[in-house]
Amino acid sequence: MTTGTLITVAPTGAESAKAEVPALPVTLDELLLTAKECEALGAAVIHVHIRDDEAKPTLDQGRLRETVAALRESTDLVVQLSSGGAVTDPEADRLAVLDAGPDMASCTMGTVNFGDDVFLNRWEFIVDLHTRMQERGVVPEYEIFDLGHLTALQRLLGKYGLPAGGHVHVDFVMGVPGGMPGTTEALVACRQALRDLPEGTTFSATGIGRSTIPVMLASLSTGGHLRVGMEDTVTYAKGSPVESNMQLVARAVGFAQLAQRPPLTTAQARELLGVPAAGR
């Protein structure tokens, strides 16, 4: 589907500190306000990381359940939980994210250097996460940090079958130090490699930091969708900090409209991704 644009907002992430980025939504109230504002602008999916009372990343099960329930009550957004958490989170806690009953969850397709850290995703863990999502009807978004991750995805689907919902959707995460660069050339290489995946596979692209705008433009021009948010970008322009996630979603919506591919509604997003209707 290239007649519209799926816009995902990733409002918080696990890397930025609230003390350094005061506009970062870290409480449930802040997250809900951000979600409602971004949905009103044109976002259809929210990619969620949560924080504890000290604004540190957490995978606390009670907080995850509360967050999913509150987002469903307050918005029609597709709720996608991160199974990546922070790079220090153990595998058992990352798998337990599914217990919170999200519509979707991320599934990163391989290990990658992540700045000075290592984001570890063993093959056995990927298989466990994929098959658990199949069993529970949670739709994955396969996160691709490097070209080889697409080969791993081809292997996964070939051995273990299509995901819940039957539709394959990937997100190219570009510009992470240690992963693929946030360039048009890298996106085109990934786009071409999608030919080896099931027919109808769709993709979004995320540009980290200064690669945000080049990646958005390249994705739109090659039939892709967009993920934006303060998880990935905290500077709107050189010398100008991001004031809110709304600012980033509004820019993505504007680019999508210029490309004559207006934002998909939440209902259209669910249809595209194979996510059951709200209130399932």
pLDDT digits (tens, 9 = 90+) for 111-128: 999 888 999 999 999 999
Q: Is residue 264 part of a domain?
A: yes
- In the predicted structure, residue 280 carries a pLDDT above the cut 50: no
Q: In the predicted model, what is the mean pLDDT of residues 32-49?
A: 98
Range of the domain at 80: 7-273
Q: In the predicted model, what is the mean pLDDT of residues 155-180?
A: 97
Q: Is residue 1 part of a domain?
A: no
Q: What is the pLDDT of residue 73?
A: 97
Q: How confident is the model at residue 3 (pLDDT cuts 50, 70, 90)?
A: confident
Q: How confident is the model at residue 278 (pLDDT cuts 50, 70, 90)?
A: confident
Residue keyed to tokens 């606390």: 60
- In the predicted structure, residue 211 carries a pLDDT above the cut 70: yes
* 214 HSE (CA, 13 A, CB side): 15
Look up the CATH number of the domain holding residue 203. 3.20.20.70
Q: Is residue 280 part of a domain?
A: no
Q: What is the pLDDT of residue 279?
A: 54
Q: Is residue 279 part of a domain?
A: no
Rounded Cα distance, 216 and 95, in Å: 30
How far are the Cα atoms of 100, 187, 225, 235, 240 from residue 19, in angstroms, in the given order?
A: 28, 33, 31, 15, 17
Burial readout 91-100 (b: 16 or more C-beta within 10 A, e: otherwise): beebbbbbeb
- In the predicted structure, residue 196 carries a pLDDT above the cut 90: yes
Q: How many domains in the chain? A: 1
In this structure, how many other beta carbons lie within 10 angstroms of the beta carbon of residue 90? 10
Q: Is residue 183 part of a domain?
A: yes
Q: Is residue 220 part of a domain?
A: yes
Q: Is residue 2 part of a domain?
A: no
